[in-house]
Chain A
Amino acid sequence: KNEVEQSPQNLTAQEGEFITINCSYSVGISALHWLQQHPGGGIVSLFMLSSGKKKHGRLIATINIQEKHSSLHITASHPRDSAVYICAVREGSNTDKLIFGTGTRLQVFP
């Protein structure tokens, strides 16, 4: 079993829909990252969080440390949001290393 599991693996939506991508992990963590990988391959960091909730534009990330679960929400989705969304966790507090999920591929159609 992977230490970081994302669901769903693939997601399609109509423009304007509210999107939720989930990330569950099985290890103790000090931080969780959400990344976006564009169709061209570039990877961009969206959020780093260790508790609560963060918002940036139409993107919202939440984390529940007790339940070992995080969600990434996209409000009013747009075709330009089409990308692979990757969850990664930093295990413990004394490591440089991230453990990555396999990603959720999102396609938003007009």
Chain B
Amino acid sequence: DAGITQSPRHKVTETGTPVTLRCHQTENHRYMYWYRQDPGHGLRLIHYSYGVKDTDKGEVSDGYSVSRSKTEDFLLTLESATSSQTSVYFCAISPHRRTYEQYFGPGTRLTVT
């Protein structure tokens, strides 16, 4: 199994509070991705990173920001959580964006009340 961990695994927070989710990898892969998974939708890309300090937006980036100051860590921040951000969040990594599979972390279940 690829060495990917996510923390926390579960979180309940109140509307309006800031939340940071962490993705940590031990594979030294260049590419990292944050997705959210909601019923009736496929996994949707929030943000991704193609190197330290290099990030770009996905299709559902509004309300989210990311940072990557080290190869191994990719942080997803909800500046002011809303109920619509209740979801399961998955981090994924890939050694090469086009020719390799993506390896997924275990997921973080976030509930915003």
Residues on A lying within 8 angstroms of B by beta carbon are 2, 4, 30-31, 33, 35, 41-45, 48, 86, 88, 90, 93, 95-103
Residues of B contacting A102 with CB < 8 Å?
40-42
Distance of B8 from chain A, by nearest CB (Å): 14
- Which residue of chain B is the closest to A40 with respect to CB atoms? B106
How many residues of B are counted as interface, with CB atoms below 8 angstroms from the partner's CB atoms?
25
B104 contacts which of A2, A44, A90, A95 (Cβ < 8 Å)? A44
- Which residue of chain B is the closest to A41 with respect to CB atoms? B107
In the complex, are the beta carbons of A4 and B42 less than 8 A apart?
Answer: yes
Residues of A contacting B33 with CB < 8 Å?
96
Residues on B lying within 8 angstroms of A by beta carbon are 31, 33, 40-45, 48, 50, 58-59, 88, 90, 97-104, 106-107, 109
In the complex, are the beta carbons of B48 and A97 less than 8 A apart?
Answer: yes
Give A96 to B40 CA distance when docked, in angstroms.
23
In the complex, are the beta carbons of B98 and A41 less than 8 A apart?
Answer: no
Give A45 to B95 CA distance when docked, in angstroms.
14
In the complex, are the beta carbons of B106 and A100 less than 8 A apart?
Answer: no
In the complex, are the beta carbons of A100 and B104 less than 8 A apart?
Answer: no
Could you jot down 26 A-B contacts, CB within 8 Å?
Answer: A31-B99, A35-B104, A41-B88, A43-B90, A43-B104, A43-B107, A44-B104, A45-B101, A45-B102, A45-B103, A45-B104, A86-B42, A86-B43, A88-B42, A88-B43, A95-B97, A96-B48, A96-B50, A97-B58, A97-B59, A98-B43, A98-B45, A100-B42, A100-B43, A101-B42, A103-B42
